């Protein structure tokens, strides 16, 4: 890649993260908190957070590059999509001085982690339908509702919960964001039994009149979607980076295998039926990465609208490239593709996550149909 697209600084960061992550292979089933904390000490987790609050002063471009390289090394930190990218960004951009001082240095140095909950069982992809409601009680807030599929609530010190205020219960969504501590009274979580070989669990949450102080509200209660998308666009860019990293990891394993494995008189990689789909997977991942870099660049430059479209497209392209790369990688290994030893089979389900979350393939196609192409809506 030329310097036009990636600076020398970014290349150096990539190399450093790759070397670090390759030295920390993932051991299935073990806690990845020590890896998180080491990465934080090296400045990788908070690279996007403001320097004044202990961060690296970079942006989503740097943070997404870190996550991609960790994924390419086979050890991605899923919670990077949430803690520094969504929560860190929203607090940096809209938090009070006290909230910034309380959370940002801790998110950057790895001592604290924050989860993010928007998905609801009865709203799903239609976040305008969320019903988690905040009502005032004196100076406090009382938050009631349900969330589903929220990642890492058990390891996070708090969850940034998207709700709406009582008087905004109907009509267009005017979201408001609350920091809910893990041990708040009335805040219950139940792990969902997912078919995913990951350390980060997903939870169903019940908030039953959770009492929160006035300063649990991040940003303005009327600021609406702008505040929310300040966090959701980085989430999409980070999910794209997560998918590209995973795709690169799977592809590299397959290429390594195809170079060596010989069942006739030449390595299987010499057969074009094996080589071409791997080459296509590489091209698709590279293209997805270009779009991801564009989205990150627009976001970091403050173009929220441009970043919205690019982040959606990048997430779409990366998820599709990842699913195809993993599928072809598994196929390349024949029977070994399905053994635990080679570690690729579990990526079949893991790769699908980026096609569904945080916004599904179809919802991105809807967005591009309506927003970019100006086609009418079916819903
Ligand atoms: C591993 C994992 C981790 C997650 N982590 C988090 C988290 O940390 N925090 C959080 O808040 N959420 C999280 N989620 C939730 C995720 O964001 C949702 O699963 C996603 O937004 C889709 O919502 P849904 O599952 O309710 O699907 P639904 O909205 O029910 O959609 C089901 C299917 O219908 C399609 N569909 C829906 N509407 C339309 C339409 N108008 N046109 C065409 N097709 C349509 C969808 O594309 C999808 O294929 C996570 C999910 C997973 C799988």
Where are the domains positioned within the chain? 8-112, 115-218, 225-372
User: Which segments of the chain does DSSP mark as H helices, in order?
Assistant: 8-22, 33-41, 60-72, 89-94, 97-109, 225-260, 272-300, 304-332, 346-356, 361-367
Give yes or no for residue 250 having a pLDDT over 80.
yes
Whether the pLDDT of residue 207 is over 90: the answer is yes
Largest CA distance in the chain: 79
**CATH code that applies to domain 225-372:** 1.20.140.10
- pLDDT at 12 (0 to 100): 97
Cβ of 240 closer than 6 Å to ligand 1, yes or no, is no
Atom in ligand 1 nearest the alpha carbon of residue 147: 11
pLDDT-derived band at 1, boundaries 50, 70, 90 = very low
pTM of the model: 0.97
Please report the pLDDT score of residue 171 as a whole number: 57
User: What tens digit of pLDDT does each residue of 35-73 get?
Assistant: 999 999 999 999 999 999 999 999 999 999 999 999 999
Residue 102 exposed, middle or buried by CB count within 10 Å (0-12, 13-18, 19+) = middle
Residues 40, 239: Cα–Cα separation, whole Å: 19
Q: How far does the centroid of ligand 1 lie from the alpha carbon of residue 213, in Å?
A: 31
CATH among 1.25.40.10, 1.10.540.10, 3.90.550.10, 3.40.50.300 for 8-112: 1.10.540.10
Mean per-residue pLDDT over the chain, rounded:
95
Percent of residues, the chain, with pLDDT higher than 90: 88
Q: Please tell me if the CB atom of residue 312 comes closer than 6 angstroms to any atom of ligand 1.
A: no
Residue 4 reports pLDDT greater than 80: no
| pLDDT score, position 173 | 67
C-alpha 276/C-alpha 270 separation (Å) is 10
Angle, alpha carbons 289-290-295 (nearest 5°) = 95
Separation of alpha carbons 260 and 106, rounded Å: 46
Percent of the residues in the chain that have a pLDDT greater than 70, as a whole number: 97
Quickly list DSSP for 116-183.
Answer: EE---TTTTT-GGG---EEEEETTEEEEEEEEEEEETTTT-SEEEEEEEEGGGSSSS--EEEEEEETT
State in Å: Cα 157 to ligand 1 middle.
24
pLDDT exceeds cutoff 60 at 169: no
What is the average pLDDT across 352-361? 98
* Residues with Cβ within 8 Å of residue 282, at least 6 apart in sequence: 251
Q: Which pLDDT tens digit goes with each residue over 254-305? A: 999 999 999 999 999 999 999 999 999 999 999 999 999 999 999 999 999 9
Question: Is the minimum distance from the CB of 363 to ligand 1 under 6 angstroms?
Answer: yes
From the CB of 92, is ligand 1 less than 6 Å away?
no
* The CATH number of domain 115-218 is 2.40.110.10: yes
């Amino acid at each position: 890649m030329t310097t036009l697209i990636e600076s020398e600084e970014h290349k150096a960061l990539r190399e450093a993260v790759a070397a670090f992550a390759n030295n920390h292979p993932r051991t299935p089933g073990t806690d990845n908190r020590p890896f998180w904390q080491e990465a934080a000490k090296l400045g990788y987790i908070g690279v996007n957070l403001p320097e004044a609050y202990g961060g690296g002063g970079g942006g989503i471009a740097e943070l997404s590059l870190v996550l991609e390289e960790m994924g390419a090394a086979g050890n991605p930190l899923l919670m990077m999509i949430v803690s520094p990218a969504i929560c860190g960004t929203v607090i940096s951009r809209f938090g009070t001085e006290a909230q910034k001082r309380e959370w940002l240095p801790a998110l950057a140095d790895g001592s604290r982690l924050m989860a993010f909950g928007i998905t609801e069982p009865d709203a799903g992809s239609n976040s305008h339908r969320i019903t988690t409601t905040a009502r005032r009680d004196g100076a406090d807030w009382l938050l009631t509702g349900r969330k589903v599929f929220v990642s890492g609530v058990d390891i996070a010190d708090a969850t940034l919960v998207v709700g709406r205020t009582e008087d905004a219960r109907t009509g267009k969504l005017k979201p408001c964001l609350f920091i809910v501590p893990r041990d708040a009274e009335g805040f219950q979580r139940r792990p969902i039994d997912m078919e995913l070989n990951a350390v980060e669990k997903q939870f169903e949450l019940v908030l039953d009149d959770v009492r929160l102080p006035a300063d649990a509200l991040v940003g303005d209660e009327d600021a609406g979607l702008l505040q929310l998308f300040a966090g959701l666009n980085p989430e999409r860019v980070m999910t794209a980076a997560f998918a590209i990293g995973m795709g690169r990891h799977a592809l590299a394993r397959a290429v390594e295998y195809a170079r060596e494995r010989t069942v006739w008189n030449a390595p299987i990689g010499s057969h074009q039926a094996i080589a071409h789909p791997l080459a296509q997977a590489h091209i698709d991942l590279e293209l997805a990465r270009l779009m991801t870099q564009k989205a990150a660049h627009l976001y970091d430059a403050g173009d929220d609208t441009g970043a919205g479209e690019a982040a959606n497209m990048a997430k779409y392209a990366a998820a599709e490239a990842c699913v195809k790369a993993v599928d072809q990688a598994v196929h390349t290994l024949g029977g070994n593709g399905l053994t635990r030893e080679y570690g690729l089979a579990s990526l079949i389900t893991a790769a699908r996550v980026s096609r569904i979350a945080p916004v599904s393939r179809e919802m991105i196609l809807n967005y591009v149909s309506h927003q970019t192409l100006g086609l009418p809506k079916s819903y």
